[in-house]
């Protein structure tokens, strides 16, 4: 099943063949608090203004969900491939609650204190999760190539919980929390605590990650059970815990503002601090793997508790 659900005012467009190609919020300040429950299928949802809730209870693992908490616009190719998602009226919205049992989830929370919970996703699932205002871009083949924060000062304290899959997350402004509880050792997680931009090749290889609006952000808490973790905490007193990573995991961890670069083959070639005076007191705990860490400004702590003798660690306490 294909469900296209607009909580408040919106306009939709289809091709002559009946393929959905556009969805856009209208009359941004007018709407209410909406409650939506869906048992199964592929769900496209724009909540609009107000404190909205969406529950998807029995979707299968292959489902594709595109979920916008507040005002937004979406675009697809004539073949029905999602190529763009962007927040609109970035200062208008509410506190939205989204529950999804399973599937691949693309989510932009928008302004407000939003929650997202994914409970039964498969290990191979792909989740692209933006806590506040953002824009996303994909190729015509559906490969994510860009993710970027918008309206840097507008957002809230967001809470995200994901059981499994590969997670790309930008928390945005506010005191945000992310929990990944049951990912496997091969998972790839790209996690930005505050405002940031990310770039990938057309083949889906991460090649750039950079903090934006380096003086704006919050105190973010991230827990990951396993996988390969790339993390930029941003400004604020941030914490990261990796509890059950494999010994061969690769972790690239930046406590404060930073920029990272990789080759088109995914080989890390640069890591650099940004905004040297802006940051906080960060706490990082990793059980195992190969760790590259730049703490940045502030009184930071790093604990690596169970790495083996062959691990390779590159550790910088302050800006580097």
Could you give the CA distance from residue 40 to residue 56 in angstroms, rounded to a whole number? 7
For 284, the domain range is: 2-316
pLDDT digits (tens, 9 = 90+) for 128-146: 999 999 999 999 999 999 9
- Average model confidence (pLDDT) for the chain? 95
Per residue in 267-308, pLDDT (tens digit) is 999 999 998 888 899 999 999 999 999 999 899 999 999 999
DSSP category for residue 281: -
- Percent of the chain that is helix, strand, coil (3-state, to 5): 0, 45, 55
Write out the DSSP string of 208-256: EEEE-STT-----EEEE-SSEEEEE--SS--EEEE-S--TT-EEEEESS
Query: Percent of the chain having pLDDT more than 90?
Result: 89
- Adjacent-strand bridge partners of 199: 146, 208
Please report the pLDDT score of residue 255 as a whole number.
94
pTM of the model: 0.95
- How many domains is the chain partitioned into structurally? 1
CA distances for 49 relative to 18, 72, 147, 206, 284, angstroms: 28, 10, 23, 33, 37
What does the block give as tokens for 127?
């989740």
């Amino acid at each position: 099943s294909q469900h296209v659900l607009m909580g408040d005012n919106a306009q939709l467009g289809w091709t002559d063949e009946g393929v959905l190609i556009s969805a856009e919020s209208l009359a941004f300040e007018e709407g209410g608090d909406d409650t939506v429950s869906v048992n199964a299928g592929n769900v496209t949802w724009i909540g609009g203004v107000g404190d909205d809730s969406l529950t998807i209870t029995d979707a299968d693992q292959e489902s594709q969900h595109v979920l916008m908490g507040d005002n937004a616009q979406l675009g697809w190719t004539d073949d029905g491939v999602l190529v763009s998602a962007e927040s609109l009226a970035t200062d208008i919205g509410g506190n939205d609650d989204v529950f999804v049992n399973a599937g691949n989830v693309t989510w932009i929370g928008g302004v407000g204190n939003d929650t997202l919970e994914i409970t039964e996703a498969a290990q191979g699932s792909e989740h692209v999760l933006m806590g506040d205002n953002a824009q996303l871009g994909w190729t015509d083949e559906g490969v994510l190539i860009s993710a970027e924060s918008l309206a840097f000062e507008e957002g809230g304290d967001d809470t995200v919980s994901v059981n499994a899959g590969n997670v790309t997350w930008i928390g945005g402004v506010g005191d945000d929390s992310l929990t990944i509880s049951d990912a496997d050792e091969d998972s790839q997680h790209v996690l930005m605590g505050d405002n940031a931009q990310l770039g990938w090749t057309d083949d889906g290889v991460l090649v750039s990650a950079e903090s934006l609006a380096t003086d704006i952000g919050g105190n973010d808490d991230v827990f990951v059970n396993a996988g390969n973790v790339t993390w930029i905490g941003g400004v604020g007193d941030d914490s990261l815990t990796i509890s059950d990573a494999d010994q061969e995991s690769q972790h690239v961890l930046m406590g404060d503002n930073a920029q990272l670069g990789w080759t088109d083959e995914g080989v890390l070639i640069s890591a650099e601090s940004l905004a040297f005076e802006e940051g906080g007191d960060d706490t990082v705990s990793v059980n195992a793997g190969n760790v590259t860490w730049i703490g940045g400004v502030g009184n930071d702590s790093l604990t690596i508790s169970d790495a083996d003798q062959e691990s390779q660690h590159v550790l910088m306490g302050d800006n580097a």
